[in-house]
Amino acid sequence: MSQISQSLISPACRDALQHWLKGRKALAGASDNTIIAYQGDLAEFLSFMTLHHGGAQGLGALGLGALERINVADMRAWMAQARAGGVGARSLARKLSAVKSFYRWLAEREGFEPTAVLSTRTPKFQNKLPRPLAQDAARAMIDTVELQSDTGWIAARDVAVVTLLYGCGLRISEALGLTGTDAPLPPVLRIIGKGGKERVVPVLPAARDAVDTYLRLCPHPQAPDTPIFRGVRGGTLGPRAIQAVMARARMQLGLPATATPHAMRHSFATHLLEAGGDLRAIQELLGHASLSTTQAYNAVDTARLMEVYNRTHPRV
Annotated catalytic sites, by residue?
Answer: 171, 194, 262, 265, 288, 297
Burial 134-156, CB ≥16 within 10 A → b, else e: eeebbebbbebbbebbeeebbbb
Cβ-proximal residues to 187 (8 Å cutoff; 6+ apart), any chain: 202, 203, 208
Query: Using the 8-state DSSP alphabet, how is residue 124 labeled?
Result: P
What are the C-alpha distances in Å from 199 to residues 107, 168, 182, 314, 316? 33, 12, 15, 44, 50
Reference 212, options 251, 186, 231; nearest CA is 186
133 burial level (CB within 10 Å; 0-12, 13-18, 19+): buried
CA distance 304 to 299: 9
Q: Is 121 helix (H, G, I), strand (E, B) or coil?
A: coil
Number of Cβ within 10 Å of residue 181's Cβ equals 10
Categorise residue 245: left if φ over 0, alpha if ψ from -120 to 50, beta otherwise: alpha
Per DSSP, the residues of 267-316 read HHHHHHHHTT--HHHHHHHHT-SSHHHHTHHHHHHHHHHHHHHHHHS---
